[in-house]
Amino acid sequence: MFSFFKKKSNIILPEPPDLVVDLHSHLIPGIDDGAKNIEESLKLLSGLQSLGYTKVITTPHIMIDAYGNTKKSVLKGLETLKKRAEEAGITLCIDAASEYYLDEGLLPLIKKKELLLINNTYLLFETSYNHRPQQLEEIIFEILASGYTPLLAHPERYNYIKNVDEYHALKEIGAHFQVNINSFNGYYGSHAKEYAHALSQHGLIDFLGSDTHHRKHIDNLKTVLQSDNYKEIYLHNTIKNPTLI
């Protein structure tokens, strides 16, 4: 397999700053493939708080064929989650956006401005893992034309991307990248691990996300956040999570 990795030198790795904000998770109960009930939601929130996060922007899926969520339904779920978290003594600031699937429903939502954005700026979106959407560049241009910033979720997990030049090309037309922290130790497989490191070494990462769905994600996060793999990210990238506080 072709490797993007550069030779390591004997350098002292920086001590990473606290991420403070997580901008990708699935914590509103019962509306997608994340937390199944409020009890699980509260355990996941507590787990993220124990890792040092002070704010969570949870991002339920909006996907025509699988999760028919709307801005209204997500915000309703958010209010319930915030109330129950406060009652449980969880001090995290909790907000919501959405993770939009690039399907036929996304462009109409962009045109109608019926969107849940991260900090009223970033539109988090994902694509098929295996098939490159023909309209990928078109959607990026539409997001930019609407005054928002396109933020591609976990680009390291898309099997249709075969070389780092493709990432650079998307960057050049205005896309930002949110990489999953758990990709750095192989949680999602060897392809995602290799390409996460490629994105890191080329300085292409804008945000890091937990993409928390269940307890295993929290447990793995704890391991990665203490690793040299994680520290190496900060040699090449300016991670913008703290700007979302």
Of residues 166, 157, 161, 144, the one with CA closest to residue 187? 157
Structural domain contains residue 170: yes
- Asked whether residue 126 is assigned to any structural domain, the reply reads yes
What does the pLDDT read at residue 9?
54
Integer-rounded Cα radius of gyration of the chain: 17
For range 122-137, the mean pLDDT: 97
Domain containing 148: what range? 21-244
| Least-confidence region, from 12-21, 116-125, 200-209 | 12-21
**Tell me, what CATH number does 71's domain have?**
3.20.20.140
* DSSP code string of 138-201: HHHHHHHHTT-EEEEE-GGG-TT--SHHHHHHHHHTT-EEEEEGGGGGTTT-HHHHHHHHHHHH
β-partners of residue 114 are none
Checking if the pLDDT of 185 tops 90, the result is yes
Using one digit for the tens of pLDDT, what is the confidence trace for 149-169? 999 999 999 999 999 999 999
Confidence of residue 1 (pLDDT cuts 50, 70, 90): very low
Q: Give the lowest-confidence range in 34-38, 62-66, 183-187.
A: 62-66
Flag whether 14 is in a domain: no
Mean per-residue pLDDT, 124-146: 97
3-state secondary structure of 212: strand
Q: Which two tokens stand for residue 216?
A: 């295993």
% of the chain beyond a pLDDT of 70: 96
pLDDT of residue 2 exceeding 60, the answer is no
> Is 103 part of a structural domain of the chain?
yes
pLDDT digit string, tens, across residues 34-61: 999 999 999 999 999 999 999 999 999 9
Q: Is the pLDDT reported for residue 5 higher than 50?
A: no
* φ and ψ of 179, to 5 deg: -95, 140
Residue 8 in any domain: the answer is no
183 has a pLDDT exceeding 50: yes
List the one residue out of 91, 96, 76 whose CA is nearest residue 42. Answer: 91
The predicted model gives 210-238 an average pLDDT of 96
Give domain status of residue 146, yes or no.
Answer: yes
Q: Give the model confidence (pLDDT) of 68-118 as tens digits.
A: 899 999 999 999 999 999 999 999 999 999 999 999 999 999 999 999 999
Average pLDDT for the chain? 95
At residue 15, the pLDDT reads 87
Neighbour tally for 165: CB within 10 Å: 10
The answer to whether residue 113 sits within a structural domain is yes
37 in a structural domain: yes
Domain count, the chain: 1
* CA–CA dist 31, 54 (Å, integer): 24
Structural tokens at position 63: 């996907």
Q: What is the pLDDT of residue 11?
A: 77
- Report yes or no: 84 and 41 within 8 Å, Cβ to Cβ: yes
